[in-house]
Amino acid sequence: MIDKVVHSAAEAVRDIPDGASVAVGGFGLCGIPEALIEAVYAQGTSNIETISNNCGVDGWGLGRLLADHRIRRTISSYVGENKEFARQYLAGELEVELTPQGTLAEKLRAGGAGIPAFFTPAGVGTWVSEGGLPQRYHPDGTVAVASQPKEVRRFDGADYVMERSLAPDFALVHAARGDRYGNLVFHAAAGNFNALAAMAGRVTIAQVEELVEPGELDPERIHTPGIFVQRVVVVGAIEKRIEKRTVTESGTGGKR
């Protein structure tokens, strides 16, 4: 077996070139590969197409790359927590392919499984299937690029839209634990989109908080087998931010 551990995040992402397509795991700010994103930022990679559930927040996660105009295009589902994202999109500086969340997940899973396309009911009868969804605007607010119509086929009396799967050049993921062979274990909600991104990437780079030796992970509890992972970098405990912290004020009896 191959020892896939590299010495640093910088070494792990060194060959990600300008213009690459990169899938990024995580959900909101939960389970994002922040150390790898920072390494990509530090080396100056630009003109990237990102594939992620969301595009970070202002000043954190993919929001760092976005603020410096390093992202030219993104395929995402939820983009509502980033003011700079909205500004760039509406100003015609960023191309956005909005995708239903479950469809985005299946696009990545199917890409990792070698399935080129699939049919889903999500989006039938909307701009998702019929085309016309604005992907890029002109600075004056008119639509520069709109989505194209997709094939719709009928199965058992219901309509389904065909979606192409995704197989990006690279994938960046975060795991709680991993071994030298690239087997990964995710913690709770941090597993969202990480396992899927890991499957889809042609080259998958995983940052892990804890590295264990081969054989220490319970085979039945491995979420992503090492066959999908090419590089592992140990980052230790990382900062875990919360998008919107909600607390109960003392003495309110649970009322806010």
pLDDT attached to residue 253: 63
Are 224 and 195 within 8 A, CB to CB? yes
The answer to whether residue 28 is domain-embedded is: yes
pLDDT attached to residue 81: 78
The answer to whether residue 119 is domain-embedded is: yes
CA dist., res. 202 & res. 84, Å (int): 30
The answer to whether residue 129 is domain-embedded is: yes
The answer to whether residue 103 is domain-embedded is: yes
Could you tell me the CA-to-CA distances from 105 to 77, 129, 203 in Å, in that order? Answer: 10, 17, 18
pLDDT attached to residue 254: 60
Domain count, the chain: 1
Residue 70's CATH number: 3.40.1080.10
Q: Report, in angstroms and rounded to the nearest whole number, the Rg of the chain calculated over CA atoms.
A: 19
Which residues in the chain belong to E strands, given as ranges?
A: 21-24, 48-51, 71-76, 95-98, 117-120, 134-137, 143-146, 152-155, 158-164, 170-179, 184-185, 203-212, 231-234
Spell out, as residue ranges, where the chain has pLDDT lower than 70. Answer: 1, 252-256
Q: Which two tokens stand for residue 187?
A: 């913690």
pLDDT attached to residue 206: 98
pLDDT digits (tens, 9 = 90+) for 205-225: 999 999 999 999 999 999 999
pLDDT attached to residue 63: 94
pLDDT attached to residue 198: 98
pLDDT attached to residue 248: 82
pLDDT attached to residue 79: 83
The answer to whether residue 173 is domain-embedded is: no
Handedness of CA 177, 13, 112, 128 (dihedral sign): positive
What's the domain range around 78? 9-164
